[in-house]
Amino acid sequence: MAQVSSSAVDELKTAVRGELLLPDDAGFDEARSIWNAMIDKRPAMILRCAGVADVRRGVAFARDNDLPLAMRGGGHNIAGSALCDDGLVIDLSPMKSVRIDPAARRAYVEPGATLADFDHEAQAFGLATPLGINSTTGVAGLTLGGGFGWLSRKYGMTVDNLLSADIVTADSELLHASADSHEDLFWAIRGGGGNFGVVTLFEFALHPVGPLVYGGLVVLPLDQARDALAQYRAAAADMPEDLSVWAVLRLAPPLPFLPPEAHGKPVIVFAMCYSGPVDNGPLTVEFVRGFGTPVGEHLGPMPYAMWQQAFDPLLTPGARNYWKSHNIGVIEDGLIDALLAAIDTLPSPQCEIFFGQIGAQTSRVPVEATAYSSRDTQYAMNVHGRWDDASDDERCIGWARAFFDAAAPFALGSVYVNFMTQEEGGRVADAYGPNYERLVAVKGRYDPHNLFRHNQNIQPAVR
């Protein structure tokens, strides 16, 4: 770490409204702990920002003192880029305000807010925007990487619903980026991650959703998975856009609607959310029930906000996590073969492989319209390796990589940037495809010295 004088640190501490934590301070270790237990980094200081002034001060301090700089939002990032060793972490998690304008159908969201915070405010007015599938996810990180969720087939990617953003850039300026102001920066943050600055406010378009949706789970034994996936593939083209059906393969958790003898057995789970008229729900999802003979199911009307929380127990903090991901166009027979072989060798009860269905509206936006470029993706497929004991690292990581390699011939070659681990910097160009060179140019304009580099980094061109 660059040497920073104690007087400079004291000056920063008195200049901010939030809290500056140093390694000897009570609460520092808690503040540096993050969701993925595989990440263990020791920053020199953590600035828990109370507002934009603190963010500007923190960015200037890191830049002027040549410190590594990381930004932490409100949720969980697989790569652990919220932390850096021997540098400054700008912790935005205290900035959690969500303000809804129901007449204009707009949401104004600070970067520490989670999906739960957003849904709590927006659903009070029967409004939502496409945002992830776990209430503990951070709005900021999800959005900056592209963002998708249960509503994306109807309303597009999260970034397709972003109307503007306030951003503190590397020179500590606060800019307002939109279609009419700093258009190049606005284009870049819609998928380009935290490469261009610290977003301090997001403005989203909202849509009428809920408060009740129809959905739930249909669980089939694994010996029905091959035929079920073939039917799932065939049904995709005619599926209504206000229905999203995800496929998850794993060992059955002890859910109350599953018979005890099914617990711990390999299953395929079809998880679905229908945001159309609730009374139409049973008929709309009936075809999914026909994919096989369920070992159990749980379907019905439920609050949208509750459905957004349904999978939170599978993503609690403190476990060791390793992901590998492909974007998929069609679920080919060869991919199904590789998938079933991988589920036969699951290395831990918490590991799973899922197909997150998007397509529809997400595919209608031109590739060049936003930095997020993977508009041909019909499914974001993720290998979610998860376990508790460090002694299992090699085995679980090996399993994830082996399936990733086996699935590669059936994938599009692109990847969703939010699913990339810290070792996958070599895939950044794959994540952005034809938009990568334009992102490099925007990076060169707004962050030519790569201050914002603790991320899936887009490096500025060498001058």
Q: Which residues make beta-bridge pairs with 323?
A: 384
pLDDT digits (tens, 9 = 90+) for 430-454: 999 999 999 999 999 999 999 999 9
Tracing tokens 């609050």 back to the chain, one arrives at 303
User: Where do the CATH 3.30.465.10 domains begin and end in the chain?
Assistant: 98-209
What span, in angstroms and rounded, lies between the C-alpha atoms of 225 and 44? 50
Q: Which of 308, 330, 349 is nearest to 407 (CA)?
A: 330
* Tokens at 158, concatenated: 């999260």
pLDDT digits (tens, 9 = 90+) for 161-171: 999 999 999 99
Q: Does domain 7-91 have CATH number 3.30.43.10?
A: yes
pLDDT at 462 over 80: no
Radius of gyration of the chain (CA): 22
Q: What is the pTM of this model?
A: 0.97
CA dihedral 299, 303, 307, 309 (to 10 degrees): -140
Which residues contact residue 153 at a Cβ distance below 8 angstroms, ignoring those fewer than 6 apart?
A: 239, 241, 242, 243, 244, 357, 358, 359, 360, 361, 362
Q: How far is CA 373 from CA 105, 251, 417, in A?
A: 26, 33, 11
User: Where do the CATH 3.40.462.20 domains begin and end in the chain?
Assistant: 212-419
CATH classification for the domain delimited by 98-209, as one of 3.30.465.10, 3.40.190.80, 3.30.2010.10, 3.90.1200.10: 3.30.465.10
What span, in angstroms and rounded, lies between the C-alpha atoms of 236 and 244? 10
Amino acid sitting at position 359:
G
Mapping DSSP to helix (H, G, I), strand (E, B) and coil, where does residue 267 land? strand
**What pLDDT, on a 0 to 100 scale, did the predictor assign at position 398?**
98
Strands 174-178 and 162-168: antiparallel
**What pLDDT, on a 0 to 100 scale, did the predictor assign at position 2?**
67
pLDDT digits (tens, 9 = 90+) for 281-338: 999 999 999 999 999 999 999 999 999 999 999 899 999 999 999 999 999 999 999 9
pLDDT digits (tens, 9 = 90+) for 390-417: 999 999 999 999 999 999 999 999 999 9
Q: In the chain, what's the furthest Cα-to-Cα distance?
A: 69
Tracing tokens 């010295």 back to the chain, one arrives at 449
Q: Which residues make beta-bridge pairs with 405?
A: none
* Tokens at 205, concatenated: 């378009």
Burial of 435 (C-beta count, 10 Å sphere; 0-12/13-18/19+) = buried
Q: Which of 415, 462, 463, 448 is nearest to 195 (CA)?
A: 448
CATH number of 212-419: 3.40.462.20
Residue 393: other Cβ atoms inside 10 A: 14
